[in-house]
Amino acid sequence: MIIIGLDGATWKIIMKNIEDLKTIKSLMDRGYHGTIYLKYKPLSPAIWTSMFSGISPRIHNHWDFIKNNSLVKRDDIPVKFIWEILYEKGYDVYVLNVPFIIPPYNFRVEFKPIGYGLPITEKECLDEINLITNKALEIIEKKPDLFIFVYTALDRYSHLHWGEKKLLDFYILIDKALSKIFNNYDGDYIIVSDHGFTDLNKARYKTLKRYDNIKGEHDIDAIYISNMNLNIQQPEDIFYIIKRYFHV
Ligand SMILES: [Zn+2]
């Protein structure tokens, strides 16, 4: 099984432009999709942690990359992740670039992210797509039992370019990356975002510390697409779906 995270992906962009997003359209046509309406503040560290630990943010309490002026480390977060559970049971699992900490977390993968895992410039954002895709294809070749990887730059790009045509261009690049992945993989998959996005003026939540040049803000509408008919209500459900899938 592979899980592909698209940080900040929303139906608001995908549905309006579905004819330009050919891979996503074909995955949707052949599989299942839905919306995850978050019941808590749409903060990426909290959601990715919950998605892969099954623990609600109110309990693990990891909301921010920074605590007491220093970067939070994996070991500071009191949860056991699904990849740790499966690895202990002898499954071949890999994790690439999951941004619940900065730089994003890897498990059994050597990876140096662009810009310490916070791609900001146009070039950094574009480079990230290629870097993650190439590394992912390398790992997919090993035929892992479980492989989780996340594209993070879409989040930055949506903050900076919400409402601009450029954002659609970026979705199209991600769509092309997905086409490369699925040309080399035909097993079970879940594509999932941690939260959606909206216009800064309509946002219910403030998730940033500074707002210079910012146009988009997080929203509670996360997405999923899968070849399996799943009922995903909250990010935590993904943890239990993977657990059941591997009978652990
Ligand atoms: Zn995010």
Domain ranges of the chain: 2-245
* CB 63, CB 218: distance < 8 Å: no
pLDDT over 90 at 81, yes or no: yes
According to DSSP, the residues that pair with 223 across neighbouring strands are 35
Give residue 222 CA to ligand 1 midpoint distance, Å: 10
Spatial CB neighbours of 143, under 8 Å, sequence gap ≥ 6 = 92
Distances (CA, A) of 201 to 159, 168, 205: 12, 20, 10
What pLDDT is stored for residue 59 in this prediction?
A: 97
Kindly indicate whether the domain formed by 2-245 is annotated with CATH number 3.40.720.10. Answer: yes
Give residue 197 CA to ligand 1 midpoint distance, Å: 9
pLDDT over 90 at 116, yes or no: no
Run of H or E including 174: helix 165-183
What pLDDT is stored for residue 149 in this prediction?
A: 98
Give residue 218 CA to ligand 1 midpoint distance, Å: 7
What pLDDT is stored for residue 22 in this prediction?
A: 98
Nearest alpha carbon to residue 82 among 66, 67, 100: 100
pLDDT over 90 at 70, yes or no: yes
Tell me whether strands 196-199 and 146-151 are parallel, antiparallel or unpaired: unpaired
pTM (predicted TM-score): 0.97
What pLDDT is stored for residue 209 in this prediction?
A: 86
Task: Provide the CA 219 distance to its chain's centre, in angstroms.
Answer: 14
Q: How confident is the model at residue 115 (pLDDT cuts 50, 70, 90)?
A: confident
Condensed to tens digits (0 to 9), the pLDDT of residues 129-182 reads 999 999 999 999 999 999 999 999 999 999 999 999 999 999 999 999 999 999
Give residue 90 CA to ligand 1 midpoint distance, Å: 31
What pLDDT is stored for residue 120 in this prediction?
A: 84
* CB 164, CB 216: distance < 8 Å: no
Q: What value, to the nearest 5°, has the Cα angle with vertex 109 and ends 107 and 112?
A: 110
What pLDDT is stored for residue 103 in this prediction?
A: 96
